[in-house]
Amino acid sequence: MGAALSPDDIAPPDPDRIAGAYRSDRHLLVDGEAPDVWSSLSRFWRTGDGWVRTHGNYPHHASALRAGLGLPLDASSGDVSTRLAAMSAGEAREDITGAGGLCVVVHREDPQRDAMLREHPLVQTRRLADSPVRPLPSDSTTAPLAGVRVLDLTRVIAGPVATRMLAFAGADVLRLDPPHLPEPEWQHFDTGHGKRSALLDVALEASRLHRLLAEADVVVLGYRPTAMRRLGLSPELLAERHPHLVIAQLSAWPGADSPRGFDSLVQAESGISWLESADGSAPGALPAQVLDHSAGYLLAAAIVDALHGRARSGGGWYVRTSLRRVAAELLGMPRGEHPVVPAPRAVLTQEFDVAGRVVTTVAPAVRWPGSPEWFAPPRPWGGDPAEW
C-alpha cells in the first residue's frame, strides 16, 4: 500500500480468511456467546399485495416504524404484521419512510437498471481541489499508512469495515459518534479494531470538527448526503475549506439524495432477495452482508489510491461508492440457477479483552508481506478524547 511490492512478494488471497471476514458478525462472540444482531422489526413482512423489508435495529428507527403504521410505541411484531397485511407494499413504504423509518418494497431483478448502473465506475474518483503534494509519511511495507490520519464519520458496517482496514494498514483512525446515538455494542466490537473512539456532536461543535479536519489526511463520510450538506459537510464544501483532504463517501443508493438504507434493504430493493428465495414464494437473503463488506473494502482501496495520487500530484480527492452500485455489480456476475448453500470453512479467530468483556472476532481478510497477523483490539466505545 505504501512502498512498492513486487507481485512475486504477494501471496494470493486466502478464500477462508475472506469468507470468514465477510461473515464477521456471524462469528462474533461476546463473553463466549453470540450476540443477537437483529431486531424483531428487521425482517421481511407480507403485505396485501407483496412483500416489504424493514430495518429497526436502532431504537429510533423502530419507534419511527411503529409511528408510521399508526401503532403505539410498545406494539409487538405481531401487531406490525397484522397492520402490514392490510396495506399495500407501496403504502407501507410511504407511511414508514414518511415517519423517518426504514422500509423498502421487495422487488424483482431489473437487468436494464443494473446495466445502466454498471455504466458508471464501481468506485467514482475525482479531483476536487488543488493543494501541494503530500508524500505518504511512511515507506514501510509493514505499516504502509503509518502517520496517515483518518477521521471516521461512519456507522454500521460498510464504513467501519473500510476504516478498520485502514487502521490495520497502520493509519491513525479516529472515529467520532454523536453522544445521543449509541452504537450497538456488538457492532463496535465487530468493526472497531485498531481505532480510537470519541464522542462529538458535530452539529454543535463544528469549529472543533474543522480543527480535526485541518490536521487529517482522510475523512470518511457514511451518513446520508443530505444530512452532510445540512451540516455544511458536503464533499464540495469540505474540499473548499480543506483542499488537502481525501474525502471518501458511502451511501446506500447512488446520487446526492440517497435516502437512509442498509445492506438488507438494498438486497430487497435490488432483486437479490428474490434470487435468494429458498422456495420462490418468500424472499431470502445472502448468507453474509456482502454489499456492506464489498463496499468497505473497495472504498479502502480507493482511499489508498487517492493518497498515492495526492503524493504524486497533490490535490484534494473524492472517492465514492454505494451499496446499490455494488449490488448491480454482483447481479451482473455469472450465477447458477439456484442459491448455493456455502460449505463450512475454517475460520481464524482472535480473542480480546475490551473493558472487561471477552470479545472473539475473525482475523483480517487480507495480509501482505510483513503485515500483522491480527487486528489490534477495539477500544471502549466513546472512551477516547476527540483529538489527534
For 34-69, write each residue's pLDDT tens digit.
Answer: 998 889 999 999 999 999 999 999 999 999 999 999
pLDDT at res. 227: 87
Q: How far apart are CA 266 and CA 301, in angstroms?
A: 22
Nine cell digits for residue 288: 453474509
Sorted by sequence, the CB contacts under 8 Å of residue 171 that are 6+ apart come out as 145, 146, 148, 149, 150, 163, 218
* Helical pair 290-313 and 15-22, crossing angle rounded to 10 deg: 110
Handedness of CA 278, 284, 288, 290 (dihedral sign): positive
What CATH architecture applies to the domain 7-31+120-362? 3-Layer(aba) Sandwich (3.40)
| Structure letter (DSSP) for residue 342 | P
Q: With a cut of 50, which residues of the chain have pLDDT below it?
A: 1-3
DSSP 3-state of 349 = strand
Candidates 234, 244, 242, 179; CA nearest to 211 is: 242
Q: How far apart are CA 278 and CA 295, in angstroms?
A: 26
| Structure letter (DSSP) for residue 193 | B
Q: Which residues pair with 129 in a beta bridge?
A: 316
pLDDT at res. 170: 95
Candidates 305, 302, 285; CA nearest to 294 is: 302
Q: Which amino acid makes up residue 107? A: H
Domain ranges for the chain: 7-31+120-362, 44-105
pLDDT at res. 1: 42
- CA distances (Å), origin 348, targets 166, 283, 363: 20, 31, 6
Sorted by sequence, the CB contacts under 8 Å of residue 11 that are 6+ apart come out as 367
Hey, how many other C-beta atoms are within 10 angstroms of the C-beta on 21?
25
DSSP 3-state of 356 = coil
Q: Which residues pair with 250 in a beta bridge?
A: 321
Q: What is the enclosing helix (H) or strand (E) of 16?
A: helix 15-22
**What's the burial of 281, exposed, middle or buried (CB within 10 Å: 0-12/13-18/19+)?**
exposed
CA 287 to chain CA mean position, Å: 17
The β-bridge relationship of strands 51-54 and 103-105 is antiparallel
